[in-house]
Structure 1
Amino acid sequence: MIIRRLPTAFSLSRRFFSSKNTPDFSSSIAEFNKELEDIFGGPPASGPSDSSVSCSVSPENLVTELSDVPGKLTHVGSHGKAQMVDVSPKEDTKRTAIASCKVILGKKVFDLVSANQLAKGDVLSVAKIAGIMGAKHAGNLIPLCHNICLSHVHVDLALNPSDYSVDIQGEASTTAKTGVEMEAMTAVTVAGLTVYDMCKAASKNIEMTNVRLERKTGGKSGEWTRKE
């Protein structure tokens, strides 16, 4: 009598959880069914059972079907690959976006910034210019972000004595086929990083936090405002 050894859990897991970029689930399942047929003398039952696994959507079609779901990721193509969205069919509309962030300095550094006594100079003025420059380079920094012509960028930095911080707000505007949310958020992020760079000699404990979109207008989704 020939005793066949059942496949171990390790061999099964190695087959189904391969590190290949595109696992061939269909061939793996067919191979597993063939092993079951060799062991038990017949094909596995096709009827429903508690231990059966039914897959009504093939892996290659899963992403395609998900593309019809509202709120889908537009930077993911039909095959699950990253892509730059083609906005050419869209019409140019007036678009604006406002973003904000906070840089927590601590009392010691806050006092130095307030008195303009840091070695690198005027922190708020330099960070303001850096934020404007950052908005103009968003498309170069973020791989799938479009390069668009900005009609206006404004960055404002204000000292906040209640928590020894700098409150930063950035606004970007354009008339284009895509929005300026990334430009506004890049503006406040670069401004915040510049504040850190200007102050890091005085303290490494500075924290940049709460980078977020506050409001946007224009485009297919229309107007959106953050609700606290």
Structure 2
Amino acid sequence: MMLLRSLHADFLKIRRKGIWFLVFLAPIGLVTMQGLNFGLRFDYILRRYGDDLWGGLIENIEFFVPMALFLGCTLISSLVANIEHQMSSWKQLLALPVSRSSVFLAKFTLCVIVLSISCLLLPVFTAGLGLLLGFQTPLPIRELLTMGFYPYLAAWPLLALQLWLSLTFRNQALPVSIGIAAAILSPFTLDLSVWLPLNWATLAISDNSPLAYLLGGVSLGLFMLMISLLHFNRKDVD
């Protein structure tokens, strides 16, 4: 019950904070970019992906999904944490009859829900673009949902890390810089080890056996969440 009360309070706090704008901006931006790409080069696209136009559309969007996810994890975590930092309300918040664990887990749950909505909107908008371009039905539902959620689950370690850093540091320069660097570097680290968590979001949609990256992402993300929760429970607040 304490977790639910904290989560409800956090949802009220994010109103007019720009978070919902970001939730819609990312999928709309990715789909609009490919809408322009397909619209301006439709004859070339038709020749290249004529046998599988849906696959071609999904493939072109998938390339940018990990980068968008890393930026989303960074910005959402920073905005959620910065609400308390800007208002200097940590002492008042933690003085309430609500456990520190509930406060921390509510903020992580909020980030998960918000990003899940964005990841659901991406396949919905992609399907809409495909239908607008005249692609044939039935829709490739499985491939669309895979594009939206597989990279997201594999990116949980970065989400847990970003929330931890954002809640720990009042100045958001460090966590935001790390998140932006991860997004920029992610396309160039694929030649490195598959054990590098930064690669898991891409491998989850490009590898023939994505289960290991999904399980690895969720497991490492939850492990980092537990470590950051222990740190938060012992940390002095300003």
In terms of fraction of residues, the more strand-rich structure is: 1
- TM class, shorter-length: under 0.3
TM-score w.r.t. length of structure 1:
0.26
TM-score w.r.t. the length of structure 2 is: 0.25
